[in-house]
Amino acid sequence: MRKAIHQLHFEGSFHGELPELGLPEIAFAGRSNVGKSSALNTLLQRKRAARTSSTPGRTQAINLFRLGDAGVFADLPGYGFAKVPQHVKDKWKQTIESYLSTREQLRLVVVLVDARRKPTALDGQLLWALVEQSIPSLVVATKVDKLKRSQRGKQLAQIRREFQLTKGQPIAFSSVTKEGRDAVWDAIEAAAAGPTLRRV
Ligand code: GTP
Ligand code: MG
């Protein structure tokens, strides 16, 4: 899949029904402003394939990026942004839940958390929903470039403990230094090569 980053095609921005592309799909989820779109750009080695913003809540639809005929990246709307009205929060929750429960080709959800912060209940809820639906997940701790060496181990250990992650997770990641890019790609490719999750 990594070899196909130069055959990038933006499939579009979807609020409702998604097109069936029949390709292994990898979704990127996490709190608003955590760095999902930036991580996607880092993996795709593009400056702005996915739109990033310092204003939380930028990505409100599901954006699909097709990598040749190798697979698809789905940039999901961020959750947990306090300053939006409740009906918008409800809409996001519904968009994500319906995506997770119906997307047939979904192989992996990359759950991004901010390495500097204590993991939140919403992240826990998402991970739990993935476990319940037997959807593989990969926890990635973003913005590690903003952590001092001395804080780094402690923060990563806290995330690992909180979510009872297996060794090797969370993957330390930075869209600024590109740290973790290969490790995330390895996990994505392993998942993309795996079996489909749902009977079609
Ligand atoms: P929504 O679409 O609103 O949910 O946000 P998002 O999760 O897609 O975040 P986005 O990629 O737009 O990044 C949010 C802000 O964090 C931007 O100002 C980015 O430049 C910054 N950012 C993202 N990743 C990193 C990182 O690894 N290191 C640093 N220092 N800043 C980052
Ligand atoms: Mg985004």
Which phi and psi angles does 118 have, rounded to 5°?
-70, 135
Min mean pLDDT across 103-107, 135-139, 195-199 is at 195-199
Pocket test for ligand 1, best of 175, 177, 181 (most atoms within 8 A of CB): 175
Task: Specify the residue with its C-alpha closest to ligand 1, atom 23.
Answer: 35
User: What pLDDT, in 10s, does the model give residues 101-136?
Assistant: 999 999 999 999 999 999 899 999 999 999 999 999
The pLDDT score that the predictor gives to residue 195 is 77
The pLDDT score that the predictor gives to residue 58 is 61
Please tell me if the CB atom of residue 142 comes closer than 6 angstroms to any atom of ligand 1: yes
Task: Specify the residue with its C-alpha closest to ligand 1, atom 14.
Answer: 33
Amino acid found at 10: F
Place 198 in a pLDDT band, splitting at 50, 70 and 90.
low
What does the CA dihedral 167, 3, 38, 101 come to, rounded to 10 degrees? -70
Q: Give 199 Cα–ligand 2 centroid separation in angstroms.
A: 30
Q: Does the structure show a pLDDT above 90 at 89?
A: no
Q: Does the structure show a pLDDT above 80 at 142?
A: yes
User: What pLDDT, in 10s, does the model give residues 54-64?
Assistant: 766 666 789 99
Q: Give 176 Cα–ligand 1 centroid separation in angstroms.
A: 10
Ligand of minimum distance to the alpha carbon of 141: 1
Q: Does the structure show a pLDDT above 70 at 100?
A: yes
Q: Does the structure show a pLDDT above 70 at 67?
A: yes
Please give the structure tokens belonging to residue 129. 């929903």
The pLDDT score that the predictor gives to residue 80 is 81
What would the mean pLDDT of 41-47 be, rounded to a whole number?
93
- Percentage, residues of the chain above pLDDT 90: 72
CA-to-CA dists, residue 4 to 1, 66, 117, angstroms: 5, 9, 34
The pLDDT score that the predictor gives to residue 172 is 98
Place 88 in a pLDDT band, splitting at 50, 70 and 90.
confident
The pLDDT score that the predictor gives to residue 199 is 53
Please give the structure tokens belonging to residue 53. 């913003």
Neighbours of ion ligand 2 (CB under 5 A): 36-37, 59
The pLDDT score that the predictor gives to residue 83 is 78
Please give the structure tokens belonging to residue 146. 């903003």
Q: Determine the Cα–Cα distance for residues 151 and 55; give it in Å rounded to an integer.
A: 26
Please tell me if the CB atom of residue 41 comes closer than 6 angstroms to any atom of ligand 1: no
What would the mean pLDDT of 2-14 be, rounded to a whole number?
94
Place 93 in a pLDDT band, splitting at 50, 70 and 90.
confident
Give the chain's mean pLDDT.
Answer: 91
